[in-house]
Each structure stands twice: as structure tokens, then as C-alpha cells.
Structure 1
Amino acid sequence: MFRPKLFTLLKTYNRSTLTADAVAGLTVGIIALPLAMAFAIASGLPPERGLFTAIVAGFLISLLGGSRVQIGGPTGAFVVIVSGIVAEFGYDGLVWCMLMAGGLLILFGLCRLGGLIRFIPFPVTTGFTSGIAVVIFSTQIKDLLGLEMATVPAEFLPKWAAYFQSSGTVSPATAALGIGSILLISVLRRWNPRTPAMLVSMLATTAAAALLHLDVETIGSRFGDLPRMLPAPGLPAVGVSELGRLIPAAFTVALLAAIESLLSATVADGMIGGKHRPNTELIAQGIANIGSAFFGGIPATGAIARTAANVKSGARSPVAGIIHAIVLALVLLLFAPLAKRVPLATLAGILVVVAWNMGERHHFMAILKGPRSDRLVLVLTFVLTVLVDLTVAVQVGIVLSALLFIRRMAENANVSVITDAVCGDVDAAEDPKAFALREVPPGVEVYEIEGPFFFGMADTFWNALGNRRSNIPVLILRIRNVPAIDATGLHNLRELHRKCLKDGTRLVFSGVALQPKAAFTRSGFLDEVGAENFCPTIDDALERARRITQE
């Protein structure tokens, strides 16, 4: 179950592979540097917390993960949830939230739930990803434009109202650096996509601010000097009551980490033609988040953009991800004193670009042109993410998707009487097993159920069976097109059997599929009805009805 890709690939590892991984690791390490600091600051924390995460979690994800080229670290998807946790519980609460989320991720992997993550509806993931992009953009306006504001409201609408009230305090120098960083990144990416545009932008704007002696806020003026090494591992104290309040947030962090990491690994598979091990990846993500918590980091997951850059840079194994973490550790050791000169407007500009890239605009518009139910889920998830909370948005989106799916399945299910079907039907011409080709014994009624027999079609079932005659000797249920049955469906059949016994009617089944037959056997329903009354084909069921009527 837990089989890290690294240990498998080391069996055939050679010098040329190491060279390719070293180049890719160095490249991605350079790309990750400004992002790691920016994500931490956007989450309301000092920039070093992002670097600690990229080093510790990035190393553990590559060492223990189930993907060949996955790059792990802080991502934009966590900005909203992390900032909310920090605002309510402080950083100590975030640490315990990460520990619980890490434990949940490990449990997901041990329970082999890696394959189930793909069942999260696409409108839900698109809705909250687009919502996160809007929220990230809205949190960067103050630093991007240098607005003079004592406090920035946490809620979306009051935040923008405060921005408009402070619009007269825009700092021209700060706005020039922030907007300039966005334009420089865009130009560099269009001119040469392989250029580490965000790092170049950060270095260029930092140099400009220093040479021109611009009066702008920097990392140093707000946070002081960055530490030059990882902190000693440790955990803060926390009360039991706070742990209970953190459980919903921990579940959201775990679910988000699982979705992002497996989505990133799937994208990487498509780029390299490989196949990741989802359960191993979940366990590695859990261990990485626990490790990040011990060393003063923030939540981590697979980073799609950095993983793609890793592949494009020639990575062949998880060693590239390990080298990426080592590069960041060396940067922290050797260049931390210089980081305090980086303007916050530059990091804000970088995050605006990140928000634009993760906005899912094409997917969003495509879903808006699709079925009405998908549009509803998308818009509701998006609006709740922006205006309320990511946790609420994910929960409501998944529940609403499930309810709409249940309704759709129930609408497609059908229960109909087919006793009076006549020969010559289109159904008979296309299907040699069609009922219209058969002769029904006198006094026998035949109903056919189509679709999964679950709680969503209970009303349909009873509405159809309510019209049956009560004095018939045999009632045949043809269920060849029922692939599955749940407890409610089984209960409904038991109730029908009880009513049939009361009316003196024998219940006969035709064409029972594997899952319903297994459910009938385990529950004892097969013995209640009698094994002789379960027939493999409609011809056998009709012959059984003839024998019953002749008794």
C-alpha cells in the first residue's frame, strides 16, 4: 500500500538521471522562492513560514510520495483557509489543525481512499478554485497600491468598501512597483516561458526600489530579518475545547490537500506518461503536513504550476523535488539577510498573477454553458467561497451535487407495467429478449424496473405498483436493468412481498443482477421469497407463473 516512488526508481538510477534532476530541482527551487514567501504573507504570517514549508514539506513529499515528479509546498488554494484559521485561533491553532489534517490524510491513504477523490464534482472544484482566486486578488490590493489603512476587514464586501474609502491614499511608488512586477512577469513569460519570471521580477523591482531610494514597505520594515535556518521542532500547547473547534477546519485542509495533490499528480502523469500511486501520495502528504507543523510551516500540498515546471525542466524522479528543497534551504542559509529588502508590492504583484492563473476562467465559462444543475453548483460554490467561507462552500457544493445527482438518477429510473405489451413494438424489434414476444398466462401481471433501485425512486416504485390488481395469483418483477439496490429498495421489496402474501399473490423475480442478488442473499430476502421464485430469464419466470396458476 505505502510504496514511495523514489525507492522504486532508485533501483535504476544513474548519473544522467541525476544531472537532469539537479537542473530541474535548481530551476524549481528558484521558481518556488518568491511564491513560498508570498503565500505565507497572504495568509497573515511572516514570510519565513512559507520557506519552512517549502523546505520541510517539499522534501518529505518528494521523499515519500507516490508521484515521480510531484513538487510539494505552500499553494494559493490554502491562503483563504489558513488566513481564517490564523485570524480566529492564531498560529498555534493552525499548527494543531495541520497535525489533525495530516493524520486524516494518512488515514485516507491507509483506507485506500485515493481513488475516491476523483468523485469530487468538477463544478465544485472549479467553483472554489475560482473563488479562491478572487479572494487572493482582493487581499493584495492594499500592498499592491500602498493604501494607508489601519486595518483591512476580513469579509469580502467590507474589504472592498474600505479599499474605495482609502483610494485617495494610493502610493505612486508602491503602485508602480506592484503593477510593474505584474507587467514584467507577463512580458517575460510571453518572451521566454522558461525564464523564472517571478524571481526575475522580484530581483528587478527590489533593485529598483533600493537604487531609487523609494519609500515603500518591504519585508524587513514589516517583519524584520528572516531567520537563516529552520527552527527547532516543537509544538505549542492547546486546550481540548479548541481542538474540537478546529476539527471542521482540519477536515477542510485535509480534503483540499488531497484534491490538490492528486490533481497535480494526475496532471504530471499526463505530461510524463506515468502513473502515480494515489494512496501513497496521500500518506506522504499527511506526513509532510505533520512535519511542516513541527518546523513552523503552513499547510502544504502538490503544487500544479511548480510540478509542471519541474517536468518541463527535465525532471525524471523525486530526486528533483528533494534538490528543490535543498536549494531553498541554501537560499535561507546564505541569502536571508537580503530578503528583507524585497518590496511587499512586488510579492503582491506575484500573487495577483497567481490568482489570475488559478482563476479557471475557461472551465468556469464552459460549465456556465452546461446543464442547469452544474451551473447552480458552480455559482453557489463560487459565491460561498468569496462571501462566506471555503469550508462552507466545499460542504454545500458537495452535498448539493449529491442531491442533484440523486434527483437525476431518480428521474432516469422507471417502473412500468408491461403485461399488455404487444408484439411489433420497437422494443421487440430491437431486443430479442423483449417482453412483447412472450405469452403471459391469464391472471399474471408483469412489471419492469429500470435503473438503480435506491431511496431516490421509492415514490416512483409505489406510485407504479399502487395500480396493481390485488386478486392476481402471480406478480412478476423483471429487474434485469437494475444494476444495484440499496437498503431502502430492499425494504420496499419486502413491503411489497408482505402485501402480496396478504393478498394471496406470489411474487416472482426475473433477471436479477449480481449486486441485487448478493444483497437478497445476505439479507435473507431470497429465502423469504423462496429461491425457486428467482428466475434467470423472463421465459423462466413466465413458466414459473404457469406452474403456480395450475397448482
Structure 2
Amino acid sequence: MVRAARTYLGRFLPSRHDYQSLHSAWKTDLLSGITVGIVALPLALAFGVSSGVGAEAGLITAVVAGLVAAIMGGSNVQVSGPTGAMVVVLAPVVASHGAGSIAVVSLLAGLLVCALGLSGLGRAVAFIPWPVVEGFTLGIAAIIFLQQVPMATGTAGVPGENTLLSAIGSASRSSFPTALQTLAVVAGVAAVMLLLPRLHKALPASLIAVLLATVAADLLRLDIPRIGALPHSLPTPAMPAFDASPVGGLLMPAVSIAALAAIESLLSARVASGMVGPDGRPTGAYVPDRELTGQGLASMATAFFGGMPATGAIARTAVNVRSGAKTRLSAIVHALVLLAIIYLAAGLVGRIPLAVLSGILMVTATRMVSRRTVNAVLRSTRADAAVFVLTALITVAFDLIVAIEIGLAAAAVFTLRKFASLSGVQREEIPGERVPGDKHIAIFRLDGAMFFGAAERVLQEINKVQDIQVAIIRLSQLRMLDATGAHTLVEVISALELRGVTVLLKGVQPQHLDLVTNVGVIRSLRHHKHLFTALAAAVEHARSHVRPNADAGAAAS
């Protein structure tokens, strides 16, 4: 048992296999790590400010979580840190419980994500439908964009207020000339980020936009809000302050954050596993359960440094892959680059205007949504388009986790309706030459899936048939059968037998045999020999049941 436990836990620990390509890829990984670190700096600052915990917490999270997740996670190319989706969930928590509660929430959420990984639920992300994922992404992008309106207009948002209402209120409260100055900064940042990649894709557009906008703000002496003072080192690790009363109110937010962290990290890792680097080779598979435990440990680690919950970041991961990263060294270097910035350039970073971060996040939000993808979903099927739109609207109007739950429920309902429409019962003609009495024999073929969504309709269709003495129910074309479907078969057989109709079953598939036996389908037959593998044998046996009646009818005539 000890050996088995050691083998099981070994799946979640670092190994030499994580760095098997390091001898040939270390130079590329170093350069990739530096590139990702430069890209991650403004995003980490922006997400920290936008969530309400401050730029310092965003930077600390990018360093600590980025390092821990790189070593302990299940992907060789995943880059972790603060993300826009997490900001959307954290902002209401900060508004309700204060910024000091985030360390406790991060620790609790990290524990839950670790538990999900250890329990083997990492592969569950594969069951999230594509329209739900894209609707969720569209909703998050809209929220991130709207959250930047207060900073973009030089005003303060109302904590805890709906994002859309807060954006409208901030725009209406903005005053001249501050709003014009901040909007000009936002426009300048957006222009640099959108136009610079057209000149050269390798240029770090977001970092250059930060530098140019900050210098311009200083030269023009713009009186606009800045990031402010940042620490010149990482804080000393400390246990988050637990208070029994507030912790109770943080449990549900922690569950929501854990669910979001798990979903976003696994989706990011899954997308990254299908990407190809500059050499045209795929990045390779990832381990879902280990990815969850790694992300959980990363969020727990940030809690001791005053950070915020972290997840896998698809934007930074994509940059990492496109830069040629092959091993975890790249993500480790990215965290070390940010750590060096904390120790060497904290004062300069504090001079960055908040409107600069607002512009970066607005552009980031628009890039999260692909017009081609949206058109593809909307043109797919009505059901998928409805799920996509519904998930996006609920994400903006209510809550991210509620949006996923309702999106999954809607997708499940539409899928079940589709399955039910493909399932049914067909009456077939008796093969070969007809003999007297055949009109009293009915052959029913069950198609598709006999499950709880279609079982009632099958029962009604068979019960409509009258004036028969023997019913042959063919199950060989039945692809899926669940307990409800098997129980419905029991009800069908019992109802027919009560009417004096002999029921014969033909073609029970091997994978369904245990189920129909355990539920009582075979036991409900009049005789255990009324189970056949060949239709000809079933028809011959059925004729033996009706021949006396047919002969009697013929003699009377």
C-alpha cells in the first residue's frame, strides 16, 4: 500500500522527464522566458490594479505563482499568473470583504484546486462544450473592457456595483480636463499596441506602449493617477490572518475561484498542447491532474506573500510557445525576470499612469475574442448559437460560475433533445413470405439511444399498436441504453403481457446484457426462452404462438 501511494503521488512531482529537451533547447528557452517576462509585466500590474488588490499583489502573483506552477504544473509550456478572468471574480470579493481577504481566499481556493487534481478530476474539462467556452470567453472579455472605464476616464468605480452600471456611472462622472488626458493616454497605448506588431511581430508592443506613454505623461506633466510606490523586494512570507467569522463568508467565493482556476488553467493547457512552435512541432501533451495540483500549490504559495489566486494564462502561454519554448525553464525564467524588476526597477514602475494599464487591458480584452470564432459558433446550429449567446450574457450580467453552470445545463438540454430526436421505435415488416396469422405479429426496432430523454416516447409509440398477439422487440440497433431505458423496457413488456401479448426480445447486445438482467427486463418476459439472437428464429417462434388462432379463424371462414 505504501508503494502504491508513493507511485500515485509520484505522478504529481517534478521529474527528469520535465526537462528532457533542455540540453538542446536551453538557449531558446532563456530567450522565450525573457520575452514572456517583458510581456507579463504590464499585464500583471494591470490585473492587480483592476482586481482591487493593487499592482504590488499582481506582480508578486506573477513571480511566485509563475515559478511554483512552472515547476509543479502538468504542462511544459504553460505560463501562470494573474488573469483577466480571475480579476472579474476577485473584484466583488475585494469590494465586500476588503483586499486583506484575498490571501485567505487564495489559500482556500488553492487547497480546493489541489484536491480536484488529487481526486483525478482534471480530465473533466474535456466535457465542457465549445460554445460554452467561447461564450464564457466573450463574456469575460466584455467585463474586462468595462472594468477599465473608470481608470480610462480618471474616475473611481463604485465597489461591488455591476460592471456595466459602474462603467456607465464612471463615464457620466468624469470631469474635464482629467478625462481628456486619460482618454488620450488610453488611445495612444491602444494605437501603439495595434500598429507596432504590423511593423515587426517580435517587438514587445505592450512594454513599448508603457514606456512611451509614461515618458510622455512625465514630459507633458499630466496630472493623472499613477501606480504609486511599490516594494523593492518580496515581502516576508507569513500565514494569512484567519478570522472565524469572515472565513465563513469567504468559503463560497473560494469555491467559485477554485472552479474558475481549474477550468481556465486546464483550458489554457489544452489549447497550448495543440499549438506548434516556430519549428512546426507540437508542444506535446500535458497531465491534467498534475496541472491542477500545480496551480493549486501556486495559489497557496501566493497567499503567504500577499498575492492573489493564479491560473494558467493563455495569452502569455501563447507568447511562450510562439517564442520557441520547449521546457519549463522558459516559464521559470519569466518569473525570475519579473523578480529582477521588483528589486531593480520598482521606482520606475511606480511612475506608470493607471490609464496606461487601462489601455493595455482594453486591447487585451478585444484580442481575447476572435471574430472568426464568433461567426463560426453563430453559424453552426441554432442550439449551439443559443448556448454561446446565453453564456456570454449571463457572464456579463450575473456571475462567471453561474454562467458556466447555466451554459452547461443549456448545452446538456439541447444535446439530450438531439439524442431523443435521433432515437425512436420503428415497426418493421416480417421478412420473407407471409403466412396466415402474420398480421397478429408486430416487429418493433429500437434505434439510437434508449435513455431517460427518449424512453417515455418509445413507451407511448409501442402502446398505440393494437390487435396483435406477439411482439418482437429488436434491440440490435440500440447504441445506448441506460437504467431508465431498461426500466422502460420492463414497463413495455409488462403492459403488453397484461394485454395478452407475448413479448420476444431479439438482439440484446453484450454490453447491455448485464444492465437488462439486473434491472429485470429478462425476468419480465413470460419465459426465459423468449430471448433470441436471430430474427428468423424469433419470427418462427412467434408464429408458433399465433398459428392455432389463425387456423381457427381460417376454419370458421
Q: Secondary structure at the match of 2:454?
A: helix
In 2, are the aligned partners of 1:178 and 1:348 still within 8 Å (CA)?
yes
Query: Helix, strand or coil for the counterpart of 1:331?
Result: helix
Amino acid at match of 1:508: L
Q: Which residue of the other structure, out of 226, 234, 237, is the alignment partner of 2:239?
A: 234
- CA RMSD after TM alignment: 2.6
Which residue of structure 2 lines up, in the alignment, with residue 427 of structure 1? none
TM-superposed CA distance for 1:264, in Å, is: 2.0
Describe the shift of the 1:156–1:323 C-alpha distance in structure 2 as closer, same or farther (beyond 3 A). closer
- Residue 529 of structure 2 aligns to a residue in which SS? helix
Matched, 1:175 2:186: no
Give 2:552's aligned residue.
Answer: none
Task: Please state if 1:225 is matched with 2:192.
Answer: no
1:28 matched to 2:36? The reply is yes
Q: Which runs of 5+ in 1 are unaligned?
A: 422-434
Tell me which residue corresponds to 1:507: 503
Aligned to 1:532, which of 529, 533, 556? 529
The answer for the alignment partner of 1:154 in structure 2 is: 161
The AA in structure 1 aligned to 2:398 is V
Equivalent in the alignment of 2:122? 114
Query: Are 2:161 and 1:124 aligned?
Result: no
User: Which secondary structure does the structure 2 equivalent of 1:450 belong to?
Assistant: strand
Structure 1 counterpart of 2:141: 133
Which deviations, in whole Å up to 9, do the C-alpha atoms of 1:171-198 show, x marking residues without a partner?
2332222221111122222211111111
CA offset digits 1:482-522 (Å, max 9, x no partner): 22222221221222232234334332222223442231234
Distance 2:63 2:406 in 1: 34
Is 1:461 paired with 2:458?
A: yes
Provide the TM-score with structure 1 as the length reference.
Answer: 0.88
Q: Against the structure 1 CA distance between its residues 315 and 484, is the aligned structure 2 distance closer, same or farther, given a 3 Å change threshold? A: same
| Stretch deviating more after TM superposition (477-486 or 265-274) | 265-274
Asked whether the equivalents of residues 12 and 293 of structure 2 are also in contact (C-alpha less than 8 Å), the reply is no
Describe the superposition over 1:460-483 as per-residue Cα deviations: whole angstroms up to 9, x where unpaired.
1122012133761x3211122222
Hey, what does 2:59 align to over in structure 1? Answer: 51
- DSSP 3-state at the match of 1:298: coil
> For residues 547 and 104 of structure 1, what CA distance do their matches in structure 2 show?
64
- Paired residue for 1:296? 306
1:311 has 2:325 as partner = no
Counterpart check, 1:64 vs 2:68: no
Deviation at 1:348, TM superposition (A): 0.7
Aligned partner letter, 1:57: A
Cα distance, 1:160 vs structure 2: 3.7
Q: Number of residue pairs matched?
A: 530
Q: Deviations over 1:427-468 (max 9, x none)?
A: xxxxxxxx6558687332211111111111133112201213
CA distance in 2, matches of 1:8, 1:548: 72
Mapped contact 1:219–1:342 kept (Cα < 8 A): yes
TM-superposed CA distance for 1:203, in Å, is 1.9
Alpha-carbon distance between aligned partners in 2 of 1:119 and 1:17, rounded to the nearest angstrom: 34
Residue 432 of structure 1 is matched in structure 2 by: none
Deviations 1:360-395 (A, max 9, x none): 333223222232222222222111111222222222
Show the counterpart of 1:334.
344
Q: Once the 2 structures are TM-superposed, how far is the Cα of residue 8 of structure 1 from its aligned partner?
A: 4.2
- In 1, distance between residues paired with 2:489 and 2:70? 52
Query: Aligned equivalents of 1:116 and 1:365: distance in 2?
Result: 27
CA drift at 1:215? 1.5
The reply to whether residue 488 of structure 1 matches residue 484 of structure 2 is yes
CA distance in 1, matches of 2:175, 2:402: 35
Secondary structure of 2:479's counterpart equals coil
Structure 1 residues 55-454: aligned runs within 5 Å: 55-147=63-155, 149=156, 151=158, 154-171=161-178, 172-220=180-228, 224-239=229-244, 242-243=247-248, 245-270=249-274, 271=276, 272-273=281-282, 274-418=284-428, 421=429, 436=431, 442=438, 443-454=440-451
Is the 1:266–1:276 contact (alpha carbons within 8 Å) kept by the matching residues of 2?
yes
Q: Distance in 1 between matches of 2:58 and 2:533?
A: 63
SS at match of 2:476: strand
Shift of 1:93: 4.2
| Separation of aligned partners in 2, 1:36 and 1:104 | 24
Q: SS of 2:442's equivalent?
A: strand
**Letter of the 2:263 counterpart:** I
Q: Is the 8 A contact 1:206 1:341 kept in 2?
A: yes
* Deviations 1:111-162 (CA, angstroms, capped at 9, x unpaired): 4333331221222221121111111111112212324x57477214432431
For residue 36 of structure 1, report the CA deviation from its aligned partner: 0.7
In structure 2, runs of 5+ residues without a counterpart are: 1-7, 549-557
Report if the CA contact (8 A) 1:25-1:324 is conserved. Answer: yes
Any idea what SS the aligned residue of 1:415 has?
strand
Residue 425 of structure 1 corresponds to which residue in structure 2? none
Counterpart-to-counterpart distance in 2, 1:5 and 1:193: 36
Give the whole-Å Cα distance in 2 for the aligned partners of 1:524 and 1:103. Answer: 44
Contact 1:130 1:361 in 2 (8 A): no
Q: Could you give the per-residue CA deviations for residues 299-325 of structure 1, whole angstroms, max 9, x where no partner exists?
A: 211111111111222211012111211
Counterpart secondary structure, 2:120: coil
CA distance in 1, matches of 2:18, 2:402: 43
Moved more, 479-488 or 500-509: 500-509
**Is contact 1:446–1:476 with CA below 8 Å preserved after alignment?**
yes
Q: Which amino acid aligns with 1:31?
A: V
Q: For residue 219 of structure 1, give the secondary structure of its aligned residue in structure 2.
A: coil
Letter of the aligned partner of 1:534 in structure 2?
L
User: Is contact 2:106-2:309 (8 Å) kept?
Assistant: yes
Query: How does the TM-score come out when normalised to structure 2?
Result: 0.88
Q: Residues 36 and 331 (structure 1 numbering): CA distance in 2 closer, same or farther, change over 3 Å?
A: same
Return the offset for 1:355: 0.6
Read off the aligned partner of 2:140 and give its amino acid letter: I
Rounded to whole Å, the distance in 1 between the matches of 2:52 and 2:190 is: 22
Runs of 4+ residues deviating >6 angstroms? none
CA distance in 1, matches of 2:120, 2:342: 37
CA deviation after TM superposition for structure 1 residue 279, in Å? 2.1
Equivalent residue letter for 1:266? R
What residue identity is the alignment partner of 1:86?
V
Cα deviation digits, residues 231-255 of structure 1 (max 9, x gap): 4131221436853x54543343233
After superposition, the Cα gap between the structure-2 partners of 1:526 and 1:140, relative to the gap in structure 1 and judged at 3 Å, is same
Distance 1:113 1:514, change over 3 A: farther
CA distance in 1, matches of 2:300, 2:174: 42
Amino acid at match of 1:56: V
CA distance in 2, matches of 1:299, 1:478: 55
